């Protein structure tokens, strides 16, 4: 076997191993494809649901819930359905026997991903009938491990509030007297990787 043949053989073997690892959905380091933007480490604490929570779980076909975090008077939940799919919910009411607004991504692998590292459940409002004239009432949502901060921006793109994303959740109240129109999320390098709307 010549030297060049050996190099080609080694390269081909490496390519096959790499392809196999990608097909298995993980890299050689054990990270999912997409790295920190495609991973949520916080598994949460199991919840013993009350009657109101059980009713809201049933509404989305879920049976079990885990509390990921409580932040800014909101509770953030991960829900599991019998078919193995996962939903996420935020309870922003004062009634603790609630699960809250619930979003169920298409598949368990739909969130988080590098193109969707944030599952935003921020409330937007308009009091004008002019199309597109919306502002943020409250920012809240779920974020991948790779999201380190979330900010509220005004109409000119200036930051009016910025908070660290921790435990894979974030919650930001709009400062009194300010108007936020955008929610933006940033990675460890400070790069904006997601925004709503």
Partner 1 sequence: MAHMHKHLIPTLAAMTAALAISVAAAVPSSASAAWCWPTCSTSGLLGPGTSTYNGCWNSSGEVCSGWNTWSANGIDKGCYPICDYGGYTQARVLYGFENTERIRGFYTDRALATYVYPYQLWMGGYLRAQVSWAPYTDGRTSYTSWIHVGAV
Q: CA-CA distance, 114 to 147, in Å (whole number)?
A: 10
Compare residues 45 and 95 and give the one whose CB is closer to partner 1.
Answer: 95
- CA distance between the termini of the chain: 59
Handedness of CA 2, 4, 6, 8 (dihedral sign): negative
Smallest gap from residue 107 Cβ to partner 1 (A): 8
Compare residues 16 and 22 and give the one whose CB is closer to partner 1.
Answer: 22
Smallest gap from residue 150 Cβ to partner 1 (A): 15
Q: How many residues does the chain have?
A: 197
Compare residues 59 and 159 and give the one whose CB is closer to partner 1.
Answer: 59
Compare residues 141 and 165 and give the one whose CB is closer to partner 1.
Answer: 141
Q: CA-CA distance, 188 to 89, in Å (whole number)?
A: 25
Q: CA-CA distance, 144 to 80, in Å (whole number)?
A: 18
Smallest gap from residue 31 Cβ to partner 1 (A): 17
Smallest gap from residue 92 Cβ to partner 1 (A): 5
Residues binding partner 1 (CB under 8 A):
56, 59-61, 90-93, 95, 98, 100-107, 109-111, 113, 115-116, 120-127, 129, 131-132, 134, 137, 196-197
Extract the tokens encoding 120. 């935003």
């Amino acid at each position: 076997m010549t030297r060049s043949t050996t190099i080609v053989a080694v390269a081909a073997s490496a390519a096959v191993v790499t392809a196999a690892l990608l097909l298995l959905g993980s890299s050689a380091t054990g990270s999912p494809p997409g790295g920190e933007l495609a991973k949520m480490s916080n598994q949460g604490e199991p919840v013993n649901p009350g009657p109101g929570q059980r009713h809201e779980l049933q509404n989305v076909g879920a049976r079990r819930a885990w509390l990921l975090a409580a932040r800014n008077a909101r509770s953030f939940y991960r829900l599991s359905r019998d078919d193995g799919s996962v939903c996420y919910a935020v309870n922003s009411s004062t009634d603790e026997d609630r699960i809250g607004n619930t979003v169920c991504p298409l598949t368990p692998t739909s969130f988080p991903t590098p193109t969707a590292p944030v599952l935003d459940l921020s409330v937007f409002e308009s009091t004008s009938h002019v199309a597109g004239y919306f502002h943020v009432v409250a920012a809240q949502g779920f974020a991948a491990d790779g999201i380190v901060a979330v900010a509220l921006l005004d109409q000119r793109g200036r930051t009016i509030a910025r908070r660290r994303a921790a435990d894979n959740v974030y919650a930001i109240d709009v400062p009194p007297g300010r108007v936020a129109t955008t929610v933006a999320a940033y990675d460890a390098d400070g790069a904006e990787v997601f925004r709503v709307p």
